[in-house]
Amino acid sequence: MVKVLSEMAAAGESPEILFWVGCAGSFDQRVQRITKAFADILNKTNTSFAILGSEEACTGDPARRAGNEFVFQMLAYQNIQTLNNYNIKKIVTTCPHCFNTIKNEYPVLGGSYEVIHHATLLQEMIKAGKIKMKEAGDFKGKKITYHDSCYLGRANGIYEAPREVLQALDADLVEMKSCRTKGLCCGAGGGQMFKEDEPGDKRINVARTEEAIATGASVVAAACPFCMIMWEDGVKQKGKEAEIELKDIAELINERMV
Amino acid sequence: MKIVEQLLFLVLSGAAIYLFARNIGKIRRNILLGQAEEFNDQPKLRWNNMLYFALGQKKMFSNPLVAVLHLIVYAGFIIINIEILEIIGDGILGTHRLLLPLLGSSLYTIFISAFELLAVLVLLGCLVFLLRRNVVRVNRFTKPELKGFPFKDANAILITEIVLMSLFLLMNAADLQLQSLENTTNGFNGIVSQLLTPLVSGCSISTIECIEKAAWWLHILGIFAFLNYLPYSKHLHILLAFPNAYYARLTPIGKMSNMPMIEREVKLMMQPELAADLPASDAPMKFGAKDATDLSWKSILDAYSCSECGRCTAACPANQTSKKLSPRKIMMDTRDRITEIGKNIDQHGPTYTDNKKLLGDYISVEELRACTTCNACVQECPLLISPLNIILELRRSLVMEDSNVPNEWAMMFGNMENNQAPWKFSNEDRGNWAKS
Ligand code: SF4
Ligand code: SF4
């Protein structure tokens, strides 16, 4: 059960936390599964939350980084108006790009909120015992590798939260050749997601997939919807769909929590 | 004869210092051709940054071996320059080893021996660095932007340091040999140079005196030359690392700078009362950067501080997959361009334009388009430089001034404007996932 904020507000209620879904989380079929998994977790943990639904707009991140400040400012203005009108205090999002923009770039424009990425929220919930994992650990002995999102890691210094979340799976966490501060980009940021690559000898997501293959991991965990889309493509290019499972940390937790 | 030498020394050192100061003055002027940006908040943190990142070279330690070698070469070079104070004192006063009578034989021996040991370490460090560049050919030193002057520049400095250190040791060895030939009682000893005396053992006193003098002169002339070569070299970073660390951006690296002029435009359009407090400007609207002078002065300082080490480029996902983009080249181009603008001002006055621009004549659209804004370059830079900042400012100009946009991006912008999402979906359907 996912409530839309406008309906909630009409009933005179307000949520503890707003779930900012983001464009990929709303529209991309693969990423919708992550969105649903995370909403599931919020429901199972009795978290009071709501989404904006059609009142949410893109944060403007890809336009700003591509160089179009006008489009960014228009969208930022629109979102900040909406959020301020609903008197939103706390926001959780599954997208590191939305996270970075709302947390770091909206305050100077008049939008200040407590913003938390779902990796951190999941980590807190596991620590607090709100999320309990099933006994039979079907991950025992399985190798998982975590892919650092640039906008969660380098841009906002969140490296450990997603890893701690994965620890809860009782799996064998292995690292790729480049990880944490040295994590290799998936290739989507800065508007690249929406255009063809510039000429080169390889796509970035393919280079990254090769690093994952080298670890022998059977699961690659991500915490960013755009990384997920790039990974899906990279793994397909390498013909490794059968060997490598791609999952967001929210999906992994949701599948195995009580 | 002595007085002639003293005079010559005074004239040469005066000229060296004057030339150096003049060049530094020009660099300062060029930096200030950039756009104003304030960096005066949190002075305590800024001093700390300078201490840890410039003096302590903290970020270098992600590769401890190279970091230690670099620290030795750097610190060794600086500390040995304390010995230069004696050399300069001798030069001005016409004395010989001015500190020897002041410190006494044994203390002076310790003093000189410590320097000699450092000199050997510096020498070895430079040798290793030369090997890494020329024999091992570490990947980041072989990229196209290092071809030509930058490659020679790096080698020239390393060789100069080796020569300077050798001259210092040779000078001491000659002195020791003289002491033993002349049976000096109040002499000194040098832990390394005593091993080198065989080099000059067969020579007569006058030859050794000549060698000693020549080594002394060459050493100090070498230092003067080094000083005046710095402003043209990537080795300027040994000085500019300090102000650059002090003025480092303290905002999260994922945060892009705001453009208040556009914020104001948008608010005027949507809700005029919100725009009231925003500063209006009569200057014609200019978006992003086309030329080096459109960049923040800090980006120009960044460019002058760049050591061309290529850690940024080695970490760049675009570069790793053979795209044209190299963040190091972005910094080198910016420095080359601002140097050219400075030269134009010197030669033709401040209003002259050469019809060249950083964007287009130095940095191509293809390079700019390849960046994923992943911040790996910013993260890796030991000197706290941001190549990404320059890339983003140039992109702003490319898109907003020139409307130079690939088709897919034009579509993305259109979708974002009309449907509030980068894809062509109706925003009405945004919450549909929750219904199924
Ligand atoms: S931010 Fe751009 S230039 Fe810097 S490393 Fe990433 S892709 Fe390369
Ligand atoms: S920007 Fe920094 S990392 Fe890149 S070459 Fe210059 S000093 Fe090295």
Per-residue pLDDT, B87: 82
B359 Cα to chain A: minimum distance (Å): 14
Q: What is the CA radius of gyration of chain A?
A: 18
Tokens standing for residue A67: 């160089």
CB contacts of A43 in chain B (<8 Å) are: none
Cα angle A131, A135, A139; round to 5: 90
Cβ of B16 below 6 Å from ligand 2: no
Q: Check residue A196 and report its DSSP letter.
A: P
Per-residue pLDDT, A138: 74
Cβ of B333 below 6 Å from ligand 2: no
**For chain A, first and last CA: distance in Å?**
18
Residue A237 has pLDDT above 90, yes or no: yes
Q: What are phi and psi of A247, to 5 degrees?
A: -140, 145
Per-residue pLDDT, B78: 79
Q: How far is the CA of B299 from the centre of ligand 2 (A)?
A: 13
Per-residue pLDDT, B1: 58
Nearest CA to ligand 2 atom 4: B312
Closest among B111, B230, B110 to B161, alpha carbons compared = B230
Ligand located closest to B60 CA: 2
Q: How far is the CA of B139 from the centre of ligand 2 (A)?
A: 14
Q: Render pLDDT for B182-194 as a digit per residue (tens, 0 to 9).
A: 888 778 999 999 9
Identity (one letter) of the amino acid at A203? R
What does the alpha-carbon distance between residue A123 and residue A131 come to, in Å, rounded to a whole number?
9
Residues 6+ apart with CB under 8 A from B193: B112, B116, B169, B170, B172, B173, B175, B176
Interface membership of A195 toward B (CB under 8 Å): yes
Interface membership of A30 toward B (CB under 8 Å): no
Average pLDDT over chain A reads 96
Interface membership of A109 toward B (CB under 8 Å): yes
Cβ of B306 below 6 Å from ligand 2: yes
CA B414, chain centre distance (Å): 42
Q: What are phi and psi of A94, to 5 degrees?
A: -90, 0
CATH topology of domain A134-256: Rossmann fold (3.40.50)
pLDDT band at A139 (very low <50, low <70, confident <90, very high): confident
Query: Do A134-256 and A3-123 fall under one CATH topology?
Result: yes
Per-residue pLDDT, A25: 98
Alpha carbon of B244 to those of A147, A252, B119, B303, B306: distances in Å?
32, 44, 28, 10, 10
> In a 10 Å sphere around its CB, with 0-12 CB exposed, 13-18 middle and 19+ buried, how is residue B167 labelled?
buried
Residue A75 has pLDDT above 90, yes or no: yes
In this structure, are residues B169 and B193 in contact, taking their beta carbons and an 8 Å threshold? yes
Q: Residue with structure tokens 């080099």?
A: B199
What does the alpha-carbon distance between residue A191 and residue B398 come to, in Å, rounded to a whole number?
14
Other CB atoms within a 10 A radius of the CB of residue B128 amount to 16
Closest among A96, A94, A111, A91 to A5, alpha carbons compared = A91
Identity (one letter) of the amino acid at A177? K
Per-residue pLDDT, A97: 98
Nearest CA to ligand 1 atom 7: B371
Residue range B260-418, CATH number: 1.10.1060
Per-residue pLDDT, B86: 85
With a CB-CB cutoff of 8 Å, which residues 228-257 of chain A face chain B? none
Which of B322, B399, B430 shows the shortest C-beta gap to A26? B430
Which of A35, A71, A185 shows the shortest C-beta gap to B372? A185
Long-range contacts of B31-34 (CB under 8 A, 24+ apart): B31/B297, B31/B300, B31/B301, B31/B304, B31/B338, B32/B297, B33/B292, B33/B293, B33/B297, B33/B300, B33/B338, B33/B341, B33/B342, B34/B292, B34/B293, B34/B295, B34/B296, B34/B297, B34/B298, B34/B299, B34/B300, B34/B301
Bridge partner list, B359: B363
Per-residue pLDDT, B219: 85
Q: What is the ipTM of this complex?
A: 0.97
Task: Determine the average pLDDT of the residues in A194-208.
Answer: 96
Q: How far is the CA of B334 from the centre of ligand 2 (A)?
A: 13
User: Are β-strands A143-146 and A219-222 bridged in parallel, bridged antiparallel, or unpaired?
Assistant: parallel
May I ask the CATH architecture of the domain A3-123? Answer: 3-Layer(aba) Sandwich (3.40)
**Mutation test residue for ligand 1: of B375, B379, B386, the one with most atoms within 8 Å of CB:** B375
Q: How far is the CA of B153 from the centre of ligand 1 (A)?
A: 25
Looking only at Cα atoms, what is the longest distance across chain A?
Answer: 57
Q: How far is the CA of B318 from the centre of ligand 1 (A)?
A: 7
Q: Check residue B54 and report its DSSP letter.
A: I
Task: Return the domain boundaries, chain B.
Answer: 2-31+63-246, 260-418
Outline where B94-204 has alpha helix (H): 99-103, 105-134, 149-182, 193-196
More confident residue, B164 or A61: A61
pLDDT band at A70 (very low <50, low <70, confident <90, very high): very high
Task: Determine the average pLDDT of the residues in A138-164.
Answer: 94
Mutate to test the interface with B, among A5, A26, A230 (most CBs of B within 10 A): A26
Closest among B39, B26, B30 to B293, alpha carbons compared = B30
Interface membership of A112 toward B (CB under 8 Å): no
More confident residue, B436 or A75: A75
Closest among B103, B219, B111 to B161, alpha carbons compared = B219
Q: Render pLDDT for B255-312 as a digit per residue (tens, 0 to 9).
A: 999 999 999 999 999 988 887 777 777 777 789 999 999 999 999 999 999 999 999 9
Task: Return the domain boundaries, chain A.
Answer: 3-123, 134-256
CB contacts of B313 in chain A (<8 Å) are: none
Whole-model pTM: value is: 0.96
Low-confidence ranges of chain B (pLDDT < 50): none
Per-residue pLDDT, A136: 67
What does the alpha-carbon distance between residue B38 and residue B44 come to, in Å, rounded to a whole number?
16
